[in-house]
C-alpha cells in the first residue's frame, strides 16, 4: 500500500517577497499628478498543502503597511510627501498596522511539472474592513521553495479608504488600485 502523503508547511521569506501597488491619478489635472508605485516589504505568512497536487492548500499572509515606500524616480520631497500621506491619511497605519489575507478555498490546476495556476478565495482585511477576495496566481515548486506570483485589483472605497485629492478635487487618486505580488517561501522541517 502506498505511503500517505502529508501536508507540507512553508514560511514566507520576506527578503525574497515583494508586494507592489500601482496608484493612478484622476481628475482634470491628472496629467500633472504622480502615478506612484508603492512597495511593501514587511510581510509574514505561511502556506500549507499536499506537494503533489496542491490539495488541502491554505494560505495566511500579513503585510505591514508602515513599510510602504515609493519606488518611482521622484524628488525626495515628493517621495516623502506621498509616503507620509499614504501612511497617515490613506492607510492610517497607527490604527490599522496590518493587512491580512487568509484563504478559504484554493483551486489548483497543474500546468506542468511542479507548475500550477491557482484560484485562491479568501478574506482580505484592510483598513479595518474584511471582504472576500479572489486571487489568481501562478505557483512554482522546488524541493525546498515555493514561489507564487500574480495580480489583482482593489477598490479602496470598498475598504473604507478615503480617496486623496488636492487642488479642490481637480487632482485625485483613482478608486481602483492594481496590486501585484511575488511571494517566495521556504519549506519548514
The CATH number of 8-187 is: 2.40.128.110
Q: What is the DSSP letter of 16?
A: G
Q: Which H or E run includes 45?
A: strand 43-49
Rg (C-alpha) for the chain, rounded Å, is 18
- Residue 124 CA to residue 105 CA, distance in Å, equals 13
40: CB partners within 8 A, 6+ apart:
19, 20, 21, 63, 64, 65, 67, 68, 99
pLDDT in tens, 21-73: 988 765 433 344 567 788 998 999 999 988 777 778 999 999 999 999 988 88
| Domain ranges across the chain | 8-187
pTM of the model: 0.87
**CB–CB of 183/63 below 8 Å?**
no
Nearest to 155, CA basis, from 63, 61, 24 = 24
Average pLDDT of the chain, as a whole number: 87
**CB–CB of 90/68 below 8 Å?**
no
pLDDT value at 143 more than 80:
yes
Share of the chain residues as helix, strand and coil, in percent rounded to the nearest 5: 15, 50, 30
**CB–CB of 163/172 below 8 Å?**
yes
Amino acid at each position: 500500500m502506498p505511503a500517505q502523503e502529508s501536508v507540507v508547511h512553508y514560511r514566507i521569506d520576506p527578503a525574497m517577497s515583494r508586494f507592489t501597488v500601482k496608484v493612478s491619478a484622476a481628475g482634470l489635472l491628472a496629467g500633472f499628478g504622480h502615478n506612484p508605485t508603492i512597495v511593501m516589504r514587511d510581510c509574514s505568512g505561511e502556506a500549507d498543502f499536499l506537494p503533489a497536487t496542491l490539495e488541502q492548500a491554505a494560505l495566511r499572509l500579513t503585510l505591514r503597511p508602515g513599510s510602504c515606500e515609493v519606488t518611482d524616480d521622484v524628488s525626495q520631497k515628493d517621495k516623502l510627501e506621498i509616503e507620509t500621506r499614504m501612511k497617515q491619511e490613506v492607510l492610517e497605519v497607527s490604527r490599522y498596522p496590518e493587512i491580512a489575507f487568509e484563504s478559504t478555498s484554493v483551486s489548483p490546476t497543474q500546468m506542468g511539472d511542479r507548475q500550477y495556476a491557482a484560484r485562491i478565495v479568501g478574506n482580505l482585511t484592510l483598513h479595518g474592513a474584511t471582504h472576500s477576495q479572489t486571487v489568481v496566481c501562478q505557483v512554482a515548486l522546488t524541493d525546498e521553495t515555493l514561489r507564487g506570483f500574480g495580480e489583482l485589483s482593489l477598490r479602496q472605497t470598498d475598504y473604507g479608504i478615503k480617496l486623496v485629492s488636492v487642488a479642490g478635487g481637480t487632482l485625485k487618486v483613482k478608486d481602483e488600485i492594481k496590486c501585484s505580488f511575488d511571494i517566495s517561501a521556504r519549506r519548514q522541517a
